[in-house]
């Protein structure tokens, strides 16, 4: 069931691919108006045209903005306020993982990763906080299972993801009761990043299906497959909706059973 977002406005960062794009589709299907941003102007234009053609131009706003650029994101938030006069939910989705061990992570790599993970939360939240408080809204953070279940080959990203989850908990208390703050923790979900790893596979004769089946088996995912972006988007929609009105400071595991923590 798609949560009812009729009359609601949702802001989504990183909305041109993967979970972000699937979230736009899910929210628009539920009646929401959406505002999204990303860094690539061509992708923003394409997604705007596609979504406007399907759901109506009046319900879609896309703008180029880097979540690490506080001024650019503030300008985007002002455009949202000017256009829609409200923000009922903020979905912080921008970000990617860094493959590295402690031995091969440089000081600059640590700084870059921590800045990306933390300020991709701070800048959008600061810019949208007033609108969210007026609407009694919700913040949904798309985080990773790495926050609780770190991997040694992603040591830097794991540490930064844990910091993000701590921020979620802190803000859920500070922003209550006006704004709810929750997160989803994703495991392995199909994305451009995994498609690139498929293209770089050693055995070029291996099919796409075989590659991802082997990956799921190697990672011991109980559901024996990677997640689909729309499955993560369903979890985001739930936490952004009134259906989760008594939930804050929580996380929803979207990992196909990969989680080993209690």
Residue 1 has pLDDT above 60, yes or no: no
What's the burial of 98, exposed, middle or buried (CB within 10 Å: 0-12/13-18/19+)?
A: middle
User: pLDDT above 90 covers what percent of the chain?
Assistant: 90
Q: Please determine, for residue 84, whether its predicted confidence score (pLDDT) is greater than 80.
A: yes
Length of the chain measured in residues: 262
The model's pLDDT over 168-221, given as tens digits with 9 standing for 90+, comes to 999 999 999 999 999 999 999 998 878 888 999 989 999 999 999 999 999 999
Under 8 Å between Cβ of 93 and 14: yes
Across 3-24, average pLDDT: 95
Our CA angle for 131, 133, 138, nearest 5°, is 90
**117-136 confidence digits (pLDDT tens):** 999 999 999 999 999 999 99
Give residue 245's pLDDT: 97
Backbone phi and psi for residue 112, each to the nearest 5 degrees, phi listed first: -65, -45
Max Cα–Cα distance, the chain, nearest Å: 56
* CA 74 to mean position of chain CA atoms: 19
Q: What is the mean pLDDT of the chain?
A: 95
Locate 18 and state its tokens.
């993967």
Q: Alpha-carbon Rg of the chain, whole angstroms? A: 18
177 cis-preceded (ω within 30 degrees of 0): yes
Q: Sorting pLDDT into bands at 50, 70 and 90, what band is 2?
A: low
Nearest to 234 by CA among 195, 194, 186, 192: 186
Mean pLDDT in residue range 43-65: 98
Half-sphere exposure of 86 (CA within 13 A, CB side): 13
> In which band, very low, low, confident or very high, does the pLDDT at 261 lie, cut at 50, 70 and 90?
confident
């Amino acid at each position: 069931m798609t949560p009812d977002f009729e009359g609601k406005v949702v802001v989504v960062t990183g909305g041109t691919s993967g979970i972000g794009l699937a979230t736009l589709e899910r929210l628009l299907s539920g009646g929401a108006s959406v505002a999204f941003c990303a860094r690539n102007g061509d992708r923003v234009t394409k997604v705007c045209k596609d979504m406007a053609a399907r759901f109506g131009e009046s319900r879609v706003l896309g703008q180029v903005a880097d979540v690490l650029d506080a001024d650019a994101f503030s300008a985007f938030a002002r455009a949202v306020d000017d256009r829609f006069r409200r923000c009922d939910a903020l979905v912080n989705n921008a970000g990617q993982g860094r493959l590295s061990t402690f031995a091969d992570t440089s000081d600059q790599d640590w700084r870059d990763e921590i800045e990306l993970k933390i300020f991709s939360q701070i800048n959008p939240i600061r810019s949208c906080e007033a609108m969210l408080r007026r609407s009694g809204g919700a913040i949904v953070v798309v985080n990773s299972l790495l926050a609780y279940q770190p991997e040694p080959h992603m040591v830097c990203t794991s540490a930064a993801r844990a910091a993000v989850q701590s921020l979620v908990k802190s803000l859920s208390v500070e922003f209550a009761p006006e704004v709810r703050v929750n997160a989803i923790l994703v495991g392995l979900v199909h994305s451009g990043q995994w498609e690139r790893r498929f293209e770089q596979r050693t055995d070029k004769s291996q099919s796409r299906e075989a590659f991802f089946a082997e990956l799921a088996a190697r990672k011991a995912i109980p559901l024996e497959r990677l997640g689909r972006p729309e499955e993560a988007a369903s979890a985001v929609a739930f936490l952004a909706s009134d259906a989760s009105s008594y939930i804050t400071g929580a996380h929803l595991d979207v990992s196909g059973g990969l989680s080993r923590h209690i």
